[in-house]
Structure 1
Amino acid sequence: MGIFSRMTDIINSNLTSLLDKAEDPKKMIRMMIQEMEETLVEVRSSSARVIADRKTTGRRLERMRTEATEWENKAMLAIGKGREDLARAALSEKQQIEKEIDVVDQELLVLDEHLEHLNEEVGQLQTKLNDAKAKQKAMLLRQSSVESRIRVKRQNHKAALDDAFEKFERFERRVDNLEGQLESMDVGMETKEDLKSQIDALADDDSINDELSRLKEKMTKTN
């Protein structure tokens, strides 16, 4: 693609529309900025060559005009000396140079129009480049802002989770305390119950033994 067709494509492009369609807008705008900067360098180099050509052509035009004036002066001198033949020859040279001057004038007009066109397109391209850089800056600021907000939200979520776990642990400790209080009420009770049961068992044994002895005695008497 030629430099001027590429520049025209860039100038006529809609940055916002292109970025909306891009899979990676950051990468695309970075590439666009690089493309614009490279194109600007090439266009300015072309402008520099045109400016140099115009200066060269302008100097040639001045020399030709000076030469035409000199031939006119020579014709006037020849007329003054009565040499009309030489005056005619001098005027012929002058007319030839004037024809060349007309051609060079047209060349200068073309160069001037070319430069004016280049300047307009460079200005448009520079505006486009500034717009792209502004969008890139805004995009980076938005990214930084979003990342900061995400970090804050993560910290808030973490704090909320930590707070929830802390409340849950406090509730568990409260239940543990209640269970401890309940279990503390039974401390020592098991030992007392065991002792009472053993003593009662001894009393029961004595009662059974007495009853057994009575039955044995009764049976003996019966026999």
Structure 2
Amino acid sequence: MNIFKRLFNVGKAEAHSAIDKMEDPIKMTEQGIKDMKGDLGEALEGLAQVKAMLIRSQNEKVQFETKAKDYQNKAMLILQKVGKEELSNADGDRLATEALVKKEENAEHANRCTVEVEKFSKSVSQLETNVNVLRNNISKWENELKTLKARVKVSKATKNLNKQMAAIDSSSTVNMLEKMKEKVTEEEALAEAYGDIANESKSIDEELDKVLDGKQINAENDLEALKKKMGL
């Protein structure tokens, strides 16, 4: 199992060397997690198979031990029959011997199963450790991936904002504002000029009216003087 090698490769996803090679850290991490999940599936399958063999060996051990005891009891019962003279010595010895042979055969099988049980138990323990390591690493890297994706979103948003800010020409903006100020100043001056013209026009009219009103008064005065002179 190349899990530790894969973990190292996944770890490189955030390394500067990976970035220098233009490799995508997120894709590398996702692939690493995918590989680890594949390894986890294989490990679980292997664990199930070894556990099945362990259970079978444990069951066979019990069966062989039970048979060994059974043949031991049979040999004893035969000898008891010989002692009661229910069975001849020759037949008793032959049958008891056969029973003891069967007992030894089953005892050997039981011993073999004991060795297998110990071996399979160690394998199960090791595989369970590997499975736990894989699960922990998968959980760890999935959390790392979430963090990495969040960082990428923030960095992209920041980059886009900075890019937009960098695209703004500050000098042109200042020039535009200055032109706007000049335009406003011109408009204000023009409004003031029109006001002055309006005032000038009003003053001329007032002066004309004043002059004209003066002549009318003089004419009236002359008329009064003429009437006095003529005795009217």
Q: Is the 8 A contact 1:47 1:118 kept in 2?
A: yes
Q: Is the 8 A contact 1:74 1:90 kept in 2?
A: yes
Q: Do structure 1's residue 89 and structure 2's residue 98 form an aligned pair?
A: yes
Q: Which residue in the other structure is 1:171 paired with?
A: 181
Q: Is the 8 A contact 1:71 1:94 kept in 2?
A: yes
Structure 2 CA distance for aligned equivalents of residues 55 and 108 of structure 1: 8
Moved more, 173-182 or 152-161: 152-161
**Shift in CA distance, 33/47, structure 1 to aligned 2, threshold 3 Å:** same
Q: Which residue in the other structure is 1:215 paired with?
A: none
Moved more, 158-167 or 170-179: 158-167
Q: Deviations over 1:28-50 (max 9, x none)?
A: 10110100011101110111111
**Shift in CA distance, 169/57, structure 1 to aligned 2, threshold 3 Å:** farther
Structure 2 stretches of 5 or more lacking a match? 83-91, 198-232
Q: Which residue in the other structure is 2:220 paired with?
A: none
Larger relative CO (CA 8 A, sep 6+): 1 or 2? 1
Identity value in percent: 19
Q: Please give the TM-score of this superposition, normalised by the length of structure 2.
A: 0.65
Structure 1 CA distance for aligned equivalents of residues 47 and 188 of structure 2: 90
Moved more, 140-149 or 158-167: 158-167
Structure 1 CA distance for aligned equivalents of residues 58 and 4 of structure 2: 29
Q: Do structure 1's residue 104 and structure 2's residue 113 form an aligned pair?
A: yes
Q: Which residue in the other structure is 2:201 paired with?
A: none
**Shift in CA distance, 115/70, structure 1 to aligned 2, threshold 3 Å:** same
Where does 1:37-116 land on structure 2 (aligned, <5 Å)?
Answer: 37-82=37-82, 83-116=92-125
Q: Which residue in the other structure is 2:5 paired with?
A: 9
Q: Is the 8 A contact 1:10 1:125 kept in 2?
A: no
Q: Is the 8 A contact 1:19 1:28 kept in 2?
A: no
Match of 1:128 among 134, 137, 146: 137
Q: Do structure 1's residue 117 and structure 2's residue 126 form an aligned pair?
A: yes
Instruction: Quote the offset at 1:54 in angstroms.
Output: 1.6
Match of 1:139 among 139, 148, 151: 148
Q: Please give the TM-score of this superposition, normalised by the length of structure 1.
A: 0.68
Q: Is the 8 A contact 2:61 2:111 kept in 1?
A: no
Instruction: Quote the offset at 1:79 in angstroms.
Output: 1.4
Structure 1 stretches of 5 or more lacking a match? 188-223
* Aligned amino acid, residue 47 of structure 1: L
**Shift in CA distance, 52/158, structure 1 to aligned 2, threshold 3 Å:** same
Structure 1 CA distance for aligned equivalents of residues 152 and 93 of structure 2: 86
Instruction: Quote the offset at 1:130 in angstroms.
Output: 1.6
Structure 2 CA distance for aligned equivalents of residues 55 and 149 of structure 1: 59
1:65 alignment partner, SS class? helix
Structure 2 CA distance for aligned equivalents of residues 154 and 25 of structure 1: 23
Instruction: Quote the offset at 1:163 in angstroms.
Output: 7.3
Q: Which residue in the other structure is 1:19 paired with?
A: 14
Instruction: Quote the offset at 1:173 in angstroms.
Output: 1.8
Structure 2 CA distance for aligned equivalents of residues 165 and 126 of structure 1: 62
2:121 alignment partner, SS class? helix
Structure 1 CA distance for aligned equivalents of residues 133 and 149 of structure 2: 24
